Structures are given as structure tokens and as C-alpha cells.
């Protein structure tokens, strides 16, 4: 069985690493010549919307998945004519546009921060009048890792913010004074089996995820699973779906969802019985899902920018290194480490050790 | 950092799977066009002793290791002129020849079954007179998975046995009435750091390993580690070394060693904090070795011959599938499964479930 992946970055790379033991082979479609999944997969080097390349991919593989949500709709449509493409197109369409996404959250009874649609400067003024400030102006499409976002404080020039995001369709979102950021990794197979990983608590800095810690029996787990189940069932979803929440007291406000394996689920490689990557593939292939139970107390620290002192990291017991084969560059995710310890205290101590190495 | 591997079978495949997360790349030298490591590595398709191919490999990679012990000495010599090759040539020379191997075991104070050198039929008769029957006639070189072995019972025609092994240099070995077969996976890095995995108990059938179970705090562990340490230090060894023993009461009789990652260590992928594959690479790269401590109670079952019902296997909780991408063929190892459970009882129950699927 051969799997095609749109995108050849670290998520495709980790899907391939999880998939070979299942007896799978992989082909990635990715325009970059030095794609980090390319050394361990077939590589069609072309644009994602190149019809000839998509045709070539469809001939080589048995089904297709993707590692990013801004996949061109035309690509999914063309591929879908000849083979299964998972997650389904409606999930992509929803996740690609923040307004559709938040509207659907609310329609399904999933709370979000208050938001308003913004088409122009007049709409932005109206949104501010409605939600108050501070608020965040976010482009409806193509934002990630804090890109395409502008925080507006009371007294700020609205026109400057509107220029800063590039005068494109946006939503304005009321700033939430949250207790924590958490995410759930959910998975649903072709035949409808579902599984949910324990919530992860996430720490971002400068809009980029730095740390995800697996939570054990968190009181918000049932609500997060309920919300994720509603979305999976509504979309007839297949594969891994990640939903990020702001936790405010007993409430979970959905911030965004990603119809793919997700950075806040990387801890599952060593920290759960079955990784999110393996379960994504099991789901897409309609195989039984693997256990999502945690193994010890786990956390994941992203390696961002420079290559760390890998010898020092590997000298720390219970630390697992995951480099992506990417050249260092400021703010670029070039790898992560997973820590798995027997107790929360040992986990916290080890995370301090890692911080010391990374400083 | 790029690693060259002589051989492109499942051991090379699992080395690559363990090495990509360390930021490594791989090139295999392997004559078979459909080598199962080839989809996830560069592939130089040539004979192991092809000087031009070896030169090409040496230009592409930073250091070389191998996945089988019958590597031509000339290949190691040629590669060793321009880059590090681990494990060292003396380990290969020892393991390639059963007589050298057993002689060295004894020289290092490591017990073995009684044995005699056999060059011809007369030598065989002399050996039988010395050791008695039953005994096993084994070719000195190129034997694996029970191939090149002939069990001789009292009353058997010695000439028939001599014909059966191909009239090549052999050793005759006294048959040991053992309690169990066990093996130790040991590892030593370039700078001399050593680590030892818990002993595995091994069950063979028709000369092929079927089941390896990780033993917890077995009373023979200190002796096995002592023996392995002697060998590692004597050889100035670098990488993973496996030694198989017959356990007879309090004694461990060394049967054979393999200067490479070993089938009886596959349980370490899920069953130990660090797999034998990752630790082999760490050793070869002179990185700190990872913890060899077990994670729960683990065992490994080989998948031999036919492709099993993978859906049924994956439906069993805590069962991890490892297919090698090889075509089914009688007596061929095409994959394995690892089981990891919280207790010995749960492990035994799960192994029964697996047996039921594989029948």
C-alpha cells in the first residue's frame, strides 16, 4: 500500500517514519527540492496545483493525505476523482478560513471567543465598536505560527492594523484572558471508530508553540472530547484532527482546528501507546485505532532556530531527539525533543535540564 | 551526517528508521534491487566487494556500519582506509568463523559447549570420539537461522552428515541439554561507554527465532553482562553486540555472537527507553548512550513466511506491528510484532491472542 502526501515537511517525514513499520510506502508532492521528507519517500517536485504532477501522484499511490491545511481545493478535487483523499475536503474548506471555522464551532455548540467579520476598514471599526479592545485582527486564510495577526490595543490606529495584515478579509477576535492554552488530538477512522488523546497544555512564545505537556485526567478532558466528537461526526472526518482551546475557568473556547497531525501531538511518539502519526495512518487505511493512553508523564519541547547541542540533549536520560533534517533559520522549527518520566516532578526537573541546554 | 550501511535488509531499514530522528541520512550498499531498506535510503545497487561501488559509498557517507557478519574483509579494509567502519574488523573476523569465535570465548573465560575442529571425515570421527553423540556439526562460516547445521544422533552415518554440510571446514559441538536460550544485547561507544539491555529469553523452532521475551532482574544478568563486557573490551568494540547463550543451571554457555543489531533485540523498539537501533547509531557516532531500561513487560514475535492478518493484529491492544516490506516466502522473516504490557500475566495473555491470529 502506497500513501501520497501533499507536502514534504516534518509532518510528512514523521508520517513516513510511523508508516514504514505498517508496511506502507510513501510518495510526497512538494515543490521544495530539499524537502525534509524527501530522503525517506518518493518525491514529486512540483507545485501542489500542477495537474500533471497530481495525475502522476494518483497513478503511483493508493490513497492521499496532506500535512498542511492550505492545500488547493482544486488539487483535492482532482485527486478525489480517482482515489480516496483524507481528511475530507469539507474539513479543509472549514479549517482554511477562520470565519467559516469559528462559525461552525458555534453552530455545533462549541464555544469560541467573540468575533466579527472584517472586509474593510469600516468593518474593522464596526467590529471594534462591537467587541471592544484589546482585540486581535487575523487574516481569514493562510495564517500560522502567529503570522497574519495583529494585536490592537485601546488607542491604536485602526488603519495601521488594517495595513499591517495586508488589507485582506479578516476576522476580529475579542482578546481572551485565558487560564491556559490546551489542545486535543482526536482521530476518526474510515469506518467511524474514534479515539482521543489526553489534552496537552501548550505554551506559545512570539506566536510559536514552544512546549506541550500531556495532562493526566484533566477535568476538561470530557468537554474537549465532546467538542471534538461533534466536529468529527459533523464533518464525517477521517484522520487526525487537532483542536486548540483557550481554557477559561470551566470553559473551553475553541481557537482553531488543524485537519492533520499537529505539533502539540508530537509528544505521543514516545508518550503514548500509539503515536498520532501511526493513528492518522491507521484511520486513513481503516485499520483498528491504537491505544491513545499515555505512557508515563510526557512533554515535548520544540527546537527553534539554531541547531542545539545534540550531544548534551542526548546525555539527558529519557530525552528523545527528533531532528527534521532542516537547515537552521530564525524562528524555524528544526526539531523537537520528547521527555517521558515516571512522575510530574521528574518531568519538571528534566524540562529544566533541557532549558539549560537550549539557552 | 550520512551513514553508509553494508546490506539493505530489515536491520538496515530499522537502523534508518531510528536514525532519521537523530538528524542522520543513510545510503545502503546492497545487490538486491528490491532491498527493503532502499525506499528510505540512498541505494547503491552492487556487490559488497565491488571496489567502484565501495569507493562511491565512501565518497557519499561519513562513516559505515553493516547489518550482517559475512561482510567481505576486503570491503571493510577498503572502506577503512578513508573513513571509520564500525563495529571493528576484528569483531567481524571473529564472528564470521565459529571456531575463532568459540576459541575466543574460552580464552576470555566465557564458557561454551565442548567443541572440536573438523577439517575432514577423519576429523569428524575423531571429534565424535572426543565429544560423544548426539552432537551438532556446523559449518565454520556462513551459517544462520539453522542453515549449515547437521544434528548427529548415536548410530547416524557420519559420512552422510559430512556430505550434508557440504564437506567444508566445520566444528563439532556437544549437544547441550539447556534450560533456556537467552541473549544479551550489549553496546559500546567510540569513547568506551557501555550499556547492557536486560536478557531476552529466546524460543527457536526449526532453527529460526520465533519469540524473544525481555526478562526482568534475571539472576543470570550480572554474569551475562560480565561476559559481554569482556568481549567488548577485548575487541575495542563499537556498536551493538549480541551474544546468545544456553543457560544450564547457573551457567551461561556462549553459543554465538553477532557483531550487529540482532533479532532478539527487536523488542527494544517499544520495550526499552532507547532501542538497540538508536543505541547502535549513538555508539557509532560517539554520542551518549540512551537508557537500556525496560518499559513494562515486553516480548517480540517474529512474522515468518506468510503475511499475517494485520488488521486482526492491530486490533489487539498494545501490539505494535513491524513489517519489513518483503514479499512472503516460506521461512522468511517478513516482520515482527512487539507487545508491551504492565505485567507478566497480561503479557502472556496477549501472546496467546497473537498466537491465535497467527495460526
The closest CB to that of A288, out of B287, B288, B315, belongs to B315
Q: Are residues B240 and B211 both part of a single domain?
A: yes
Name the phi and psi angles at A242, rounded to 5: -110, 135
Q: Which residues of chain B does A13 touch, with a Cβ-Cβ cutoff of 8 Å?
A: 20
> Pick from A17, A42, A295: which is nearest to B17 by CB?
A17
Q: Check whether residue B342 and residue B321 sit in a common domain.
A: yes
What is d(CA B14, CA A8) in angstroms, rounded to the nearest whole number? Answer: 21
On whether the CB atoms of residues A34 and A223 are closer than 8 A, the answer is no
Q: A239 and A207, same structural domain?
A: yes
B296 to chain A, closest Cα gap in Å: 10
- Report yes or no: A103 and A109 within 8 Å, Cβ to Cβ: no
Asked, for residue A45, whether it belongs to a domain, the answer is yes
Q: For residue A326, report the phi and psi dihedrals to the nearest 5 degrees.
A: -105, 145
Domain total of chain A? 3
Those residues whose C-beta lies under 8 Å from the C-beta of residue A352, and which sit 6 or more positions away, are none
Question: What integer pLDDT is reported at residue B144 of this predicted model?
Answer: 59
Q: What is the CATH number of the domain that holds A32?
A: 3.40.50.20
Q: Give the number of other CB atoms < 10 A from CB of residue B157.
A: 10
User: CB burial class (10 A; 0-12, 13-18, 19+) of residue B154?
Assistant: exposed
**Element (DSSP H or E) covering residue B224:** helix B221-235
Last residue of a domain, one of A150, A174, A198: A174
**Residue finishing a domain among B38, B64, B85:** B85
Show binding-site residues of A for ATP: 98, 138, 143-149, 173-176, 181, 204, 255-256
d(CA B262, CA B240): 8
The pLDDT score that the predictor gives to residue A104 is: 98
* Structural domain contains residue B92: no
Q: For chains A and B, count residue pairs whose Cβ atoms are closer than 8 Å.
A: 85
CA distance linking residue A196 with residue B250, whole number of Å: 48
**Domain CATH number, residue A135:** 3.30.1490.20
CA separation for the pair B26, B17 (Å, rounded): 10
Residue B100 is assigned to a structural domain of this protein: no
Do A322 and B21 lie within an 8 Å CB cutoff?
Answer: yes
Residues B315, B321 contacting (CB under 8 angstroms) = no
Q: Is residue A29 part of a domain?
A: yes
The answer for residues whose C-beta is within 8 angstroms of residue B193's C-beta and 6 or more apart is B283, B288, B289
Q: Chain B: which residues have CB within 8 Å of chain A?
A: 13, 16-17, 20-23, 25-26, 39-42, 273, 282, 287-288, 290-291, 295, 310-311, 314-315, 317-318, 320-325, 335, 340
Q: Which residue ranges of A make up the annotated binding site?
A: 98, 138, 143-149, 173-176, 181, 204, 255-256
Same domain, yes or no: A185 and A298:
yes
Whether residues B218 and B287 fall in one domain: yes
Contacts with A325 from chain B: Cβ below 8 Å: 20, 23, 25
Q: Do A138 and A195 fall within a single domain?
A: no
Instruction: Report yes or no on B94 lying in a domain.
Output: no
Collect all residues of chain B within an 8 Å Cβ-Cβ radius of residue A279. none
Question: Which pLDDT belongs to residue B148?
Answer: 82
Q: Let me know whether A354 and A217 are in one domain.
A: yes
| Chain B residue with minimum CA distance to A42 | B39
Contact call for B20 and A40, based on CB within 8 A: yes
Residue B302 sits in the same domain as residue B344: yes
Which helix (H) or strand (E) element contains residue B348?
helix B344-358
Residues of chain A with pLDDT under 50: none
- Predicted local confidence at residue B146, as pLDDT: 61
By residue range, what is the domain housing residue A277? 180-358
Residue A253, phi then psi, degrees to nearest 5? -105, 115
d(CA B184, CA B68): 18
Q: Are residues A313 and A226 both part of a single domain?
A: yes
Shortest Cα distance from B299 to chain A (angstroms)? 15
Rounded to a whole number of angstroms, the distance from the CA of A20 to the nearest CA of chain B is: 7
Furthest-apart CA atoms within chain A: distance in Å: 59
Q: Which of B85, B105, B137 is the C-terminal boundary of a domain?
A: B85
Find the CB nearest B322 among A21, A39, A321. Answer: A21
The residue of chain B nearest to residue A326, with distances taken between CA atoms, is: B23
Residues of chain B with pLDDT under 50: none
| Cβ count near A73 (within 10 Å) | 13
Residue A147 three-state SS:
coil
Q: Which residues of A touch B310 (CB under 8 A)?
A: 22-23, 287
- Which own/partner pairs from B124-127 qualify as long-range (CB within 8 Å, at least 24 positions apart)? B124/B158, B124/B161, B124/B162, B124/B170, B124/B172, B125/B158, B127/B172
Q: Chain B: nearest CA to A215, how far in angstroms?
A: 20
Burial A155-176 (b: 16+ CB within 10 A, else e): eeebeebbeebeeebbbbbbbb
Which helix (H) or strand (E) segment holds residue B271: the answer is: helix B268-271
From chain B, pick out residues whose CB is under 8 angstroms from the CB of A16: 40
CB B110 within 8 A of CB B184: no
Q: In angstroms, rounded to a whole number, what is the distance separating the alpha carbons of residues B323 and A196? A: 26
| CA-based nearest distance A358→chain B, Å | 17
DSSP SS3 for A321: strand
Considering only the beta carbons, identify the residue of A20, A315, A340 that sits closest to B17: A20
Strand residue runs (E) in chain B: 2-6, 25-29, 42-44, 63-66, 115-118, 135-139, 149-152, 170-174, 180-188, 194-196, 200-205, 208-214, 239-248, 251-258, 297-304, 319-323, 333-341
The closest alpha carbon to A195, from A238, A138, A246, A146, belongs to A238
In angstroms, rounded to a whole number, what is the distance separating the alpha carbons of residues B166 and A341? 54
Q: What CA–CA distances, in Å, run from B87 to A261, B91, B197, B243, B254?
A: 38, 7, 18, 14, 20
Task: Indicate yes or no: CB of A21 within 8 angstroms of CB of B314.
Answer: no
d(CA B23, nearest CA chain A) in Å: 5
Q: Is position A108 within any domain?
A: no
A36 and A139 together in one domain: no
Residue B117's alpha-carbon distances to A99, B111, B125, in angstroms, are 81, 17, 11
The answer to whether residues A279 and A187 touch, using CB atoms and an 8 Å cutoff, is yes
**Percent helix / strand / coil, chain A, rounded to 5:** 35, 30, 35
Residues B184, B160 share a domain: no
> How far is the C-alpha of B244 from the C-alpha of B200, rounded, in Å?
9
**Among A40, A72, A95, A36, residue whose Cα is nearest residue A332:** A36
Q: How high is the ipTM of this complex?
A: 0.95
Query: Cα-Cα-Cα-Cα dihedral of B39, B43, B48, B49, to 10°?
Result: 170
Show residues of chain A in contact with B313, CB under 8 Å: none
Q: Cβ of B288 and A315 within 8 Å?
A: yes
Q: What nine digits make up the cell of B245?
A: 547463550
Query: Is residue B130 a known part of a binding site?
Result: no
CATH number at residue B325: 3.30.470.20
| Chain A residue numbers touching B311 (CB-CB < 8 A) | 287-288
Task: Decide if A41 contacts A20 (C-beta within 8 A).
Answer: no
Domain identity same for B207 and B339 = yes
**CA-based torsion, B341, B345, B350, B351: positive or negative:** positive
Q: Is residue A256 part of a domain?
A: yes
Report CB contact under 8 Å: B39, A41: yes
Which of B298, B311, B314 is the best residue to mutate to test the A interface, defined by the most A CB atoms within 10 Å of its own CB? B314
Give the SS3 label for residue A210: strand
Q: Do B21 and A22 count as a contact with CB atoms less than 8 A apart?
A: no
Q: Looking at the domain assignment, is residue B42 inside a domain?
A: yes
Amino acid at each position: 500500500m502506497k500513501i501520497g502526501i501533499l507536502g514534504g515537511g516534518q509532518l510528512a517525514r514523521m508520517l513516513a517514519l510511523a508508516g514504514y513499520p505498517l508496511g506502507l510506502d510513501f510518495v510526497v508532492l512538494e515543490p521544495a527540492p530539499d524537502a525534509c521528507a524527501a530522503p525517506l519517500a518518493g518525491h514529486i517536485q512540483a507545485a501542489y496545483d500542477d495537474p500533471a504532477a497530481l495525475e502522476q501522484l494518483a497513478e503511483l499511490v493508493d490513497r492521499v493525505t496532506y500535512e498542511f491545511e492550505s492545500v488547493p481545493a482544486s488539487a483535492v478535487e482532482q485527486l478525489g476523482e480517482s482515489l480516496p483523499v483524507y481528511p475530507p475536503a469539507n474539513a479543509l474548506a472549514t479549517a482554511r478560513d477562520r470565519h467559516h471555522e469559528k462559525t461552525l464551532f458555534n453552530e455545533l455548540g462549541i464555544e469560541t471567543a467573540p468575533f466579527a467579520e472584517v472586509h474593510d476598514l469600516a468593518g474593522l471599526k464596526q467590529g471594534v465598536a462591537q467587541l471592544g479592545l484589546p482585540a486581535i485582527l487575523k487574516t481569514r486564510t493562510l495564517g500560522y505560527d502567529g503570522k497574519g495577526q495583529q494585536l490592537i490595543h485601546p488607542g491604536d490606529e485602526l488603519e495601521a492594523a488594517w495595513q499591517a495584515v495586508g488589507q485582506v478579509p479578516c476576522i476580529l477576535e475579542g482578546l481572551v484572558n485565558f487560564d491556559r492554552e490546551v489542545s486535543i488530538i482526536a482521530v476518526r477512522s474510515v469506518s467511524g471508530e474514534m479515539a482521543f488523546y489526553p489534552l496537552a497544555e501548550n505554551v506559545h512564545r512570539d506566536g510559536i508553540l514552544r512546549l506541550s505537556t500531556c495532562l493526566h485526567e484533566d477535568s476538561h478532558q470530557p468537554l474537549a472530547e465532546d467538542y471534538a466528537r461533534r466536529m468529527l461526526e459533523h464533518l464525517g472526518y477521517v484522520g487526525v484532527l487537532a483542536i486548540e482551546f483557550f481554557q477559561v475557568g470551566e470553559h473551553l473556547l475553541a481557537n482553531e482546528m488543524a485537519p492533520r497531525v499537529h505539533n502539540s501531538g508530537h509528544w505521543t511518539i514516545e508518550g503514548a501507546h500509539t503515536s498520532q502519526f501511526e493513528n492518522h495512518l491507521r484511520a486513513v487505511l481503516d485499520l483498528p485505532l491504537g491505544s491513545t493512553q499515555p505512557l508515563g508523564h510526557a512533554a515535548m519541547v520544540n527546537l527553534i532556530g539554531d541547531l542545539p547541542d545534540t550531544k548534551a540533549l542526548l546525555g539527558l536520560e529519557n530525552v528523545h531527539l527528533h531532528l527534521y533534517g532542516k537547515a537552521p533559520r530564525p524562528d524555524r522549527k528544526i526539531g523537537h525533543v520528547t521527555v517521558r518520566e515516571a512522575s510530574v516532578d521528574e518531568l519538571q526537573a528534566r524540562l529544566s535540564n533541557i532549558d539549560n541546554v537550549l539557552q
